[in-house]
Amino acid sequence: MDKSLRDRASRVVPGGMYGHMRASGLPDGYPQFFARGEGCHIWDVDGRKYLDFMCSWGPIVLGHHHPVVDAAARRQMEQGDVLNGPSERMVELAERVVGLVTHADWALFSKNGTDATTTCVTLARGATGKRKVLLAKGAYHGAVPWCSPHPYGVMSEDRAHILYFDYNDVASLEAAVTQAGGDLAAIVVSAFKHDYGQHQELPDLAFAQRARALCDANDAALILDDVRAGFRLTLHGSWDQIGVQPDLSAWSKAIANGYALSAVMGNNRFRDAAAALFATGSFWCGAVAMAASLATLDVLEAENGPEHMRAMGQRLRDGIAEQARRYNLGVRQSGPVQMPTILFEDDADYARGNRFTQETLKRGVYMHPKHNMFLSVAHTAADIDHALSVTDDAFKIVAGL
Amino acid sequence: MDKSLRDRASRVVPGGMYGHMRASGLPDGYPQFFARGEGCHIWDVDGRKYLDFMCSWGPIVLGHHHPVVDAAARRQMEQGDVLNGPSERMVELAERVVGLVTHADWALFSKNGTDATTTCVTLARGATGKRKVLLAKGAYHGAVPWCSPHPYGVMSEDRAHILYFDYNDVASLEAAVTQAGGDLAAIVVSAFKHDYGQHQELPDLAFAQRARALCDANDAALILDDVRAGFRLTLHGSWDQIGVQPDLSAWSKAIANGYALSAVMGNNRFRDAAAALFATGSFWCGAVAMAASLATLDVLEAENGPEHMRAMGQRLRDGIAEQARRYNLGVRQSGPVQMPTILFEDDADYARGNRFTQETLKRGVYMHPKHNMFLSVAHTAADIDHALSVTDDAFKIVAGL
């Protein structure tokens, strides 16, 4: 079925599939097409079941097909979704996130993470009347010309006022600020360094504080790209954990457990600017995704979702570390335990990582060889232990290579 | 209720509301918040019912809460929506639109109309290796810096390679092509001229043919922005009606009867480019919106939706014209009858248009004083006749001013 769908797709979809969900970026054996999800399990179109450690690349934070979220969405569907204006759900959701997220005094909603990051940057330029935007080299902030990791169709003008620094490197950040001169509009930081195919890094406190101070000193906006990590590590904004508050933040992924939604949040300093900006989209006020988001946040809070994911992520990390030691394999785990990245040492071509995940996949555990993975609230200790029994087999095979 | 929601929103939403759905852009008396939709009727949060001529600014093409579409969406929700890759629905939908849309050899899907127009432009630049993109002055193609109608936060570099022409004006188009020199990547045209607050214009055949010829002669892409009109006027691409085929087209709005979805379609000349482009988003493969789209297209085709909307739109246009004559009011109706724009002559400040729509609103008919409106398949002859009984009262009041 996967094969016949790939054949059909090759005729009517560019390259057979586009973007980050192309199976061509994965080792042989990975399915391209999926049929179903339930809790922490997914099924491909050939009926094979997997314990899922990608969670749809982030959106699924409570588990697939979550009964409370889906019931809220179905109730809202009976009323109305996209109408001639927003619904009461928009106000409730804005109030809810302003109550949860420490730095937020207001919120606006859109559909893609890229909508949110683009709005933040445009807002910072409008508010400050300045142009330079500093990004960390290799950081992913979306797939449009100002930030896409792939330069196809991108012109030099699209990045004329983008400057780069190294995440967690104060000296490089200061150098970029100096380069911006009097024209600094914003510094954009990810919740942590989660570059593709690389070891992840948590934000260094001195770096985060310096970014905040440089924005203050230069009347620029500190923008936190919390699209990937937001509401998974904490409900209060990912840098709240280290006590550094951004001016603007971009959210998506986990905000509504898979319903299409993103958000920009900001403090009062940028409230008038946000009102002045023309940001809009046909479906941005859709009430179903907002009802789903309200339910998602309720469940995350009631069940202390971030802490559950932390505990499950730690259990996975400890187990993997023990196995790697036992098989004498150089394995480095990085990033927050709720969003694990597992890379082999001295594996520049990812040969061992690919083999490892191919072997877990064969045994029904869907892991990614290069990208950070995601835990959900649906993962139980028994699921983690089952995954570890599978990774043990996979390590054994890799060690025997 | 609307008032209390506006008060609450003013504290947590920039400006109380953002974008094209701000009620502040409408005359006094228009509700900001909506509760429900059913067929061609909507209810605001105070329980007032309206016969709806905005259709959520376009997305609702079959009627609100359409049983067939919503059933398809619910069935898909039971399976899976956003997973680790696309579902079978994506292939089915790509096959379906390639079968329907004359110029399309392939399709890719996203969430916003702006995603689709931005992808088209980026794709054209990537494919041609050239930079200049020609837009019609005053045309709306989205709300990001390269095309936003509001310049807040926009830099000159964002539009360094944008040139402008006048829609339907061959000489101005030729002049812009000359200005582009050897650097012409694309000409972007809307399905028809549907600028805000202006009389609308259908595409002139000579203009459309010249745009096509200029793209051919300059190895550039003809991009049709069919976001607003697509699948409402015809199922085959709006310029198919005049026999001119674009290379690339952008779709959204009516594609899934309110479910968040957009699409880029293209011909084989741009297939490899589309595969080379990195276009992606977290929710772009969501199967629920694609299932809704498949159902929407089935119903539109089975019920000959465009023809029904044409007949109902013509009935409305004829009735309005008769009333305007009878009350001796200068009223100009423009655009395709399925997407009517009704403006008073010599009404530069829209005073009469505002009063007219305020009076219809009071009587339960939701019309827009400046923007094009939208018919849906749910509008019956009895609905149109009811609307006309209301517009008769409203014209009487305007005539007595």
Of A57, A83, A121, nearest to B42 by CB-CB distance is: A83
Is the separation of the CB atoms in B259 and B289 below 8 Å? yes
A125 with B278: Cβ contact below 8 A: no
Of A45, A125, A160, nearest to B88 by CB-CB distance is: A45
Q: Which positions in chain B touch A124 (Cβ < 8 Å)?
A: 153
B18 with A279: Cβ contact below 8 A: yes
- Are both B156 and B296 inside the same structural domain? yes
Indicate which CATH number applies to the domain containing B276: 3.40.640.10
- Determine the residue among A12, A33, A372 to mutate to test chain B binding: the one whose Cβ has the most chain B Cβ atoms within 10 Å: A12
Burial of A364 (0-12, 13-18, 19+ CB in 10 A): middle
pLDDT(A236) > 80: yes
The answer for residues whose C-beta is within 8 angstroms of residue A276's C-beta and 6 or more apart is: A126, B15, B152
- Paired residues of A9 in beta bridges: none
Q: Which residue of A has its CA nearest to B367?
A: A84
B45 with A78: Cβ contact below 8 A: no
B80 with A34: Cβ contact below 8 A: yes
Is the separation of the CB atoms in B112 and A281 below 8 Å? yes
Count of domains for chain B: 2
Distance CA A116, CA B278 (A): 18
Q: Which residue has the tokens 């594996």?
A: A347
The whole-angstrom distance between A193's CA and the closest CA on chain B is 19
pLDDT(A175) > 80: yes
Q: Which positions in chain A touch B34 (Cβ < 8 Å)?
A: 80, 83-87
| Confidence at residue A325, expressed as pLDDT on a 0 to 100 scale | 98
Angle value at C-alpha A150, between A145 and A153, nearest 5 degrees? 50
Q: Which residue has the tokens 């400050």?
A: A128
- Are both A252 and A213 inside the same structural domain? yes
User: Residues 191 to 250 of B: which have CB under 8 A from any A CB?
Assistant: 227
Instruction: Give the rounded percent of residues in chain A with a pLDDT score beyond 90.
Output: 100
Structure tokens at A381: 């200790």
Is the separation of the CB atoms in B259 and B293 below 8 Å? yes
| Confidence at residue A138, expressed as pLDDT on a 0 to 100 scale | 97
Q: Could you give the count of Cα atoms lying within 13 Å of B147 in the half-sphere of its Cβ? A: 23
CA-CA-CA-CA dihedral for A146, A150, A152, A156, to nearest 10: 40
Establish if B148 touches chain A: CB-CB under 8 angstroms: yes
- Are both A120 and A264 inside the same structural domain? yes
Nearest to B230, CA basis, from B248, B204, B218: B248
Q: Which residue has the tokens 């299409």?
A: A260
- Are both B289 and B309 inside the same structural domain? no
User: Sign of dihedral through CA atoms B276, B281, B286, B292?
Assistant: negative
The whole-angstrom distance between B268's CA and the closest CA on chain A is 10
The answer for residues whose C-beta is within 8 angstroms of residue A139's C-beta and 6 or more apart is: A167, A188, A190, A193, A195, A225
User: Sign of dihedral through CA atoms B2, B3, B9, B15?
Assistant: positive
pLDDT in tens, chain B (401 residues): 999 999 999 999 999 999 999 999 899 999 999 999 999 999 999 999 999 999 999 999 999 999 999 999 999 999 999 999 999 999 999 999 999 999 999 999 999 999 999 999 999 999 999 999 999 999 999 999 999 999 999 999 999 999 999 999 999 999 999 999 999 999 999 999 999 999 999 999 999 999 999 999 999 999 999 999 999 999 999 999 999 999 999 999 999 999 999 999 999 999 999 999 999 999 999 999 999 999 999 999 999 999 999 999 999 999 999 999 999 999 999 999 999 999 999 999 999 999 999 999 999 999 999 999 999 999 999 999 999 999 999 999 999 96
CA-CA-CA-CA dihedral for B236, B241, B244, B247, to nearest 10: -20
Of A56, A82, A286, nearest to B83 by CB-CB distance is: A56
User: Residues 250 to 279 of A: which have CB under 8 A from any B CB?
Assistant: 252-253, 258-260, 266, 271-279
A74 with B79: Cβ contact below 8 A: no
Please state the separation of Cα A369 from the chain's center in Å: 17
A111 with B283: Cβ contact below 8 A: yes
- Are both A44 and A102 inside the same structural domain? no
Q: Which pLDDT tens digit goes with each residue over A287-302?
A: 999 999 999 999 999 9
A153 with B81: Cβ contact below 8 A: no
User: Sign of dihedral through CA atoms B357, B361, B364, B366?
Assistant: positive
Query: What average pLDDT does range A301-314 have in this prediction?
Result: 98
- Determine the residue among A8, A18, A38 to mutate to test chain B binding: the one whose Cβ has the most chain B Cβ atoms within 10 Å: A18
Q: Which positions in chain B touch A88 (Cβ < 8 Å)?
A: 1, 5, 33, 35, 45
Structure tokens at A11: 């005729």
Q: Which positions in chain B touch A37 (Cβ < 8 Å)?
A: 80, 83
Is the separation of the CB atoms in A62 and A235 below 8 Å? no
Of B105, B115, B161, nearest to A155 by CB-CB distance is: B161
| Confidence at residue B14, expressed as pLDDT on a 0 to 100 scale | 97
Query: What average pLDDT does range A261-268 have in this prediction?
Result: 98
Q: Which positions in chain B touch A90 (Cβ < 8 Å)?
A: 9, 13, 33
Domain C-terminal end among B302, B336, B361 = B302
Q: Which residue of B has its CA nearest to A108?
A: B13
B283 with A33: Cβ contact below 8 A: no
Task: Note the ipTM here.
Answer: 0.98
User: Residues 154 to 193 of A: which have CB under 8 A from any B CB?
Assistant: 154-155, 157-158, 160-161
Q: What is the DSSP letter of B150?
A: S
- Determine the residue among B1, B4, B83, B267 to mutate to test chain A binding: the one whose Cβ has the most chain A Cβ atoms within 10 Å: B83
Domain C-terminal end among A276, A302, A328 = A302
User: Residues 302 to 361 of A: which have CB under 8 A from any B CB?
Assistant: none
Domain C-terminal end among B282, B302, B322 = B302
Distance CA B252, CA B247 (A): 17
B91 with A60: Cβ contact below 8 A: no
Distance CA B298, CA A215 (A): 53
- Are both A104 and A191 inside the same structural domain? yes
Is the separation of the CB atoms in A281 and A259 below 8 Å? no
- Are both A22 and A73 inside the same structural domain? no
Is the separation of the CB atoms in B40 and A72 below 8 Å? no
The answer for residues whose C-beta is within 8 angstroms of residue B365's C-beta and 6 or more apart is: B50, B51, B53, B386, B387, B390, B391
Query: What average pLDDT does range A143-167 have in this prediction?
Result: 97
Distance CA A67, CA A73 (A): 10
- Are both A52 and A84 inside the same structural domain? no
Q: Which pLDDT tens digit goes with each residue over B163-186?
A: 999 999 999 999 999 999 999 999
Residue range(s) defining the domain that contains residue A251: 68-302
- Are both A350 and A231 inside the same structural domain? no
Q: Which pLDDT tens digit goes with each residue over A211-227?
A: 999 999 999 999 999 99
| Sheet arrangement for strand A49-52 | A34-38, A41-44, A49-52, A365-366
Structure tokens at A331: 């394995």
- Are both A308 and A394 inside the same structural domain? yes
Query: What average pLDDT does range A362-369 have in this prediction?
Result: 98
Query: What average pLDDT does range A370-392 have in this prediction?
Result: 98
A18 with B280: Cβ contact below 8 A: yes
Indicate which CATH number applies to the domain containing B24: 3.90.1150.10
Distance CA A332, CA A370 (A): 12
Distance CA A301, CA A401 (A): 45
- Are both A57 and A75 inside the same structural domain? no
Q: Which positions in chain B touch A85 (Cβ < 8 Å)?
A: 17, 21, 23, 31-34
B125 with A289: Cβ contact below 8 A: no
Pairing of strands A34-38, A41-44: antiparallel
Q: Which pLDDT tens digit goes with each residue over A1-29?
A: 999 999 999 999 999 999 999 999 899 99
- Paired residues of A41 in beta bridges: A38, A51
The whole-angstrom distance between A206's CA and the closest CA on chain B is 30
DSSP state string for A115-174: HHHHHHHHHHHHHHS--EEEEETT----SSTTT-SS-TT--GGGGTTEEEE-TT-HHHHH
Of A111, A161, A286, nearest to B157 by CB-CB distance is: A161
Please state the separation of Cα A70 from the chain's center in Å: 21
- Are both B13 and B75 inside the same structural domain? no
Distance CA A375, CA A289 (A): 22
